[in-house]
A and B are shown apart, each in its own frame.
Chain A
Amino acid sequence: MPNGRLVRKDVDALSSLEPEALRKLRNAYSQMMQIRDYRGYNYWAGIHGNPQGYCWHGPRPFSQSWHPSLRLDYDLWLPWHRAYLLYFEHYLRDQQTDPDVGLPWWDWSSDQSLEAGIPTAFSAEPVDDQPNPLYKAHIRSTDYVTSPEDRDTRRFPGDPSEIRRFLLEHITRLIGDKDEELPLYNRLVTALLSITQFEGLTGFSQTLLDIHNRIHGWTGGISLEDGRPVPGDMRVVGTAAYDPIFWSHHCMLDRLWYIWQIENGLNNIPADHLPVVLQPFGLTVRDVLDIEALGYEYAVSAEVIAGGPG
């Protein structure tokens, strides 16, 4: 780990280049899923929607004690999820004897995802004759008030061409047919970087939020069971974080925000957002702007090529 910082990697690269790291990640998830207290997977999944409901998705007012009558709209979904992933990842790493394996990101805009959809790391079942904890988690009937009987998370992803459709729609509205010959991922980054303002209905944050929403909807999907439509968990705010792919989806979004920050400024966020405390983590928005200060960075993969001269 460079300077003690964790490197978050591309999950498809982990699958092909670092299968041992992926196995460690699966083990960590598996261990965390067995814990029933505040260190456990279901506790952390429950912070997002059901039952604790802390997640932010879009601007909302937030009364501040120093402005009792002033209601400002705060667009906190990116910093909130950055703090959420950070805490979750630390609890996940607690389950490792080797703490180097962090949350991998899922690039849903890659050629691979646009062809095959869900990465095999999350869709293979079983793996090495064992249940794959990245394929599904278990929601307990005690997890929230109206949770039905104990069940596994469910996922009914759509056709990958749908991802291409809505990403292209965003891209062409932002940059037209610029760089048409490049892979979709490159065009997506160019398009997002063309937005210089963080806030506003068509600013960077809300544009990325719309893409975030669509990937949630696509990944969860809907299936007909006994003639009744049943939504996949990623499609519903309340249960999305129980699906293990949630964390890697949000890693990708966090990474895109980081790439945008490098171009547009780490502090490019409304000044009145900075002192806001991101509940329940105890970090402020200012605290989470610099991922290096939080102890991680992003790479496709990282490996030692050869030893030094000694």
Chain B
Amino acid sequence: MQAKAYTSDPISVEATPLAGDFTRADIEVHDLDHSGESFEGRVFLNNPDADESTELTLDNGYAGSFYVFGHGGCFGDVGHCEVSGQRRAYDPRQSHPLLPQTKAVRATEALRRAAAKGEDIKVTVVPVIAPGIEQPDTEDIEDVLKFDHVSIISYKS
């Protein structure tokens, strides 16, 4: 089984600064879960059918990738991997290691190409655990890619 990919709702180019001039643009993936398998998150634009065999080219909408160094599951006693949202005041201890992470991909050229077409942009993230190696049919693998939202940030220098 392959891990499930994610495709965003269409993002209108016209209503965003992507319609204008920009010198750099990043795609950010927010509050990413890193409790399970390590994997590469390959980001494509306007290619919702992309999968782990899709060639990593601009023509295929490949924008770049990030890598999640996973914790590999829960190795402790009951409660070990529960991330509490509350911390009491004056608690000097480190925050929980499994607090979600945010990753960014520099995707200037890919976003420029996609924006130039004037169409809406769909962001697809394909999680690749181990290319060519079939993963077990479990919920942990299928849902390895979990995050809160995607954003596109553009800069003009």
* A and B bind: yes
Question: Would A61 and B95 count as touching, CB distance under 8 A?
Answer: yes
Q: A61 CA to B70 CA in the complex, in Å?
A: 19
Q: A210 CA to B37 CA in the complex, in Å?
A: 15
Q: Return the CB mask of A56-74 against B: 1 if under 8 Å, else 0.
A: 1111111111001101000
Question: Would B70 and A237 count as touching, CB distance under 8 A?
Answer: yes
Among B72, B90, B91: residue with most chain A CB under 10 A: B72
Question: Would A213 and B38 count as touching, CB distance under 8 A?
Answer: yes
Q: A222-B130, A229-B136, A236-B70 are in contact. Are A144 and B104 (CB under 8 A)?
A: no
Question: Would A145 and B67 count as touching, CB distance under 8 A?
Answer: no
A109 near B: Cβ within 8 Å? no
Q: Return the CB mask of A246-257 against B: 1 if under 8 Å, else 0.
A: 000000000000
Which residues on B sit within 8 Å (CB–CB) of A214? 40, 67
A54 near B: Cβ within 8 Å? yes
A270 near B: Cβ within 8 Å? no
A238 near B: Cβ within 8 Å? yes
Across chains A and B, the number of contacting residue pairs, with CB separation under 8 Å, is: 117
Question: Would B38 and A201 count as touching, CB distance under 8 A?
Answer: no
Question: Would B92 and A54 count as touching, CB distance under 8 A?
Answer: no
**Which residue of the partner chain, among A57, A60, A221, A236, contacts B130 with CB atoms under 8 Å?**
A221
Question: Would A145 and B75 count as touching, CB distance under 8 A?
Answer: yes
Q: A53 CA to B81 CA in the complex, in Å?
A: 11
A51 near B: Cβ within 8 Å? yes
B15 near A: Cβ within 8 Å? no
Q: Return the CB mask of B53-79 against A: 1 if under 8 Å, else 0.
A: 000000000001111111110111100
Q: Return the CB mask of A169-207 against B: 1 if under 8 Å, else 0.
A: 100011000000000000000000000000001100010
**Which residue of the partner chain, among A145, A201, A228, A239, contacts B104 with CB atoms under 8 Å?**
A201
Question: Would B76 and A217 count as touching, CB distance under 8 A?
Answer: no
Q: How far is the CB of A160 from chain B (nearest CB, A)?
A: 14
Question: Would B94 and A228 count as touching, CB distance under 8 A?
Answer: no
Q: A228-B136, A231-B37 are in contact. Are A201 and B26 (CB under 8 A)?
A: yes
Which residues on B sit within 8 Å (CB–CB) of A144? 75-76
Question: Would B71 and A229 count as touching, CB distance under 8 A?
Answer: no
Q: A144-B75, A228-B136 are in contact. Are A222 and B99 (CB under 8 A)?
A: no
A224 near B: Cβ within 8 Å? yes
Q: Kindly report which residue of chain B lies nearest to residue A278, judged by CB atoms.
A: B94
Q: A164 CA to B4 CA in the complex, in Å?
A: 27
Which residues on B sit within 8 Å (CB–CB) of A65? 90, 92
Which residues on A sit within 8 Å (CB–CB) of B5? none
Q: How far is the CB of B62 from chain A (nearest CB, A)?
A: 10
B102 near A: Cβ within 8 Å? yes
Interface residues of A (CB under 8 A from B): 49-51, 53-65, 68-69, 71, 144-147, 166, 169, 173-174, 201-202, 206, 210, 212-214, 216-217, 220-222, 224, 228-229, 231, 235-239, 279
8 more CB-based (< 8 A) A-B contacts, given A173-B108, A237-B72 = A54-B94, A62-B95, A201-B28, A202-B106, A213-B67, A228-B136, A229-B135, A237-B34
List the 10 closest pairs (A to B, CB-CB), nearest first.
Answer: A236-B72, A201-B104, A68-B89, A213-B69, A213-B67, A222-B130, A237-B71, A173-B106, A214-B67, A217-B38
A-B residue pairs in contact (CB < 8 Å), sample of 27: A53-B97, A57-B101, A63-B87, A63-B90, A65-B90, A68-B90, A145-B76, A146-B74, A166-B65, A166-B67, A173-B106, A210-B66, A210-B103, A213-B38, A213-B67, A213-B68, A213-B69, A214-B40, A214-B67, A216-B69, A217-B40, A221-B130, A229-B130, A235-B38, A236-B38, A236-B71, A237-B70
